[in-house]
Structures are given as structure tokens and as C-alpha cells.
Amino acid sequence: MFYHIIRPIARFIVWLLNGHLHVNHKERIPDGNYILAAPHRTWWEPILFALAASPKEFMFMTKIELFKYPVLNFILKHAHAFPVDRKNPGPSALKTPIKELKNGNYSLIIFPSGTRHSAELKGGTIAIAKLSGKPIVPVVYQGPLTFTGLLKRKPLEVCFGNPIQVDRKIKLTHENEAMLDNQLKEAWNKIDQEQNPNFHYQPK
């Protein structure tokens, strides 16, 4: 219920602050649940991705430190976010999203690099896709990377790519994970080139 209440509020706030959210190639999103995977470029991307792919409901991996604040803790939990300790992820980092994806409750928004300042992909996304049997949908954000740029009402572009299905029979060896990571990176590059080849991400 809370998710349905907060989504139109978030949509209104984005419209009020910027008013230029453009969604590209939504037709590429498959039926059923999936894993929306993106390179991490801004802190507001999860909101934009969730709005762009609505009416699908999403769960989110969120660093455990944010759950220390009572109000934020309430919002995050009711927005289907679950805590992950980045230093010691533990089995719940995989078990929670796999269970929800299999049950058909929610899709997942995830940033395989973990942070905005890293290009190295962690192995969790591939493992979740394999064990849940759900496809990975690559997605990128192109637009302002600072809050000031957001307020200047520069266009916000969300672009979806074609789904990537991880074979459930594949062994997650280092070589296979590297191959699948490269496939995901190539998908992001393809989407970026397709949407706007002049866009270049520079961490702020």
C-alpha cells in the first residue's frame, strides 16, 4: 500500500523539480519479474528507474547505514528496500531478492558496481539472475549528475536495453562471471551510444 502511495508523490516531485523525464524503449522490458541493472551515476537513479518501469513494483538493495534513522528506516522498509552490509554482505544479500523474484512479488533494481565511484562489477547480480531464473534488463541514465543540474531542468533520459538471460546450468566460475560481466557492460555501452553518444559519465 505504501509503495502505491509514495510512487505518485515521487513522480510529482520529479516533475516539479525537473519536468523532463523521458523513457526510451520501454517495449524491451519482458513480461514477469526481472532484474533491472544499471551503472551507478546518481543517487536519484533508483527513483527514476522505478518510475520509468511502472506499474511494476521494485525492491532495492540499500546500504545498512541508512536504516539507522527511524524515519528513513520506515520509508525504506515500506518501499521494499532491504539492508545490505557492503563490507560483509552475508547470504541475505542474495537470498532475499532471489526469494522475492521467484515468488513473483517484486522485480529488483540493482547497481552491480555497488557505488558511483567504481566500474568494477560485483558478482551478486549474475548469481541472483542464475538462481532466480529471471532475466537481467540493462538500463542507463543520461542526464544531469548534480542536484543543481537537476534543478536547471536538463532532460532526464532513462533507456532500457534488451534482456540478458543467464543460463541456470552455467557454473559461476571466474571466467564465466567475467564473460557475463562484459556482456552487461557492453549492453550499457550500446544503450549509451544508441541514446546519446556524446554523453560521458564523470563521477562527481
Tens digit of each residue's pLDDT (9 = 90 or more) over 183-197? 999 999 999 999 999
Q: Per-residue pLDDT tens for 121-175?
A: 766 899 999 999 999 999 999 999 999 999 999 999 999 999 999 998 999 898 9
Supply the pTM of this predicted model.
Answer: 0.90
Q: Among the residues of the chain, which ranges form H helices?
A: 2-17, 45-52, 70-78, 92-103, 124-132, 147-151, 174-195
What distance in Å separates the CA atoms of residue 109 and residue 57, rounded to the nearest whole number? 10
pLDDT class for 203, splitting at 50, 70, 90? confident
Q: Are strands 136-142 and 156-160 parallel, antiparallel or unpaired?
A: antiparallel
Decide if pLDDT at 118 tops 60. Answer: no
CB 143 within 8 A of CB 94: no
Q: Are 18 and 1 in contact (CB under 8 A)?
A: no
pLDDT on residue 204: 63
pLDDT over threshold 90, residue 113: no
Most confident segment among 22-31, 66-75, 76-85, 106-115: 22-31
Question: What pLDDT score was predicted for residue 31?
Answer: 92
Amino acid identity, residue 78? H
Residue 44 is predicted with a pLDDT of 93
Mean pLDDT score, 63-67: 87
Measure the CA–CA gap between 100 and 20, rounded to whole angstroms.
32
Cα separation, 34 vs 42, in Å, equals: 22
Confidence of residue 179 (pLDDT cuts 50, 70, 90): very high
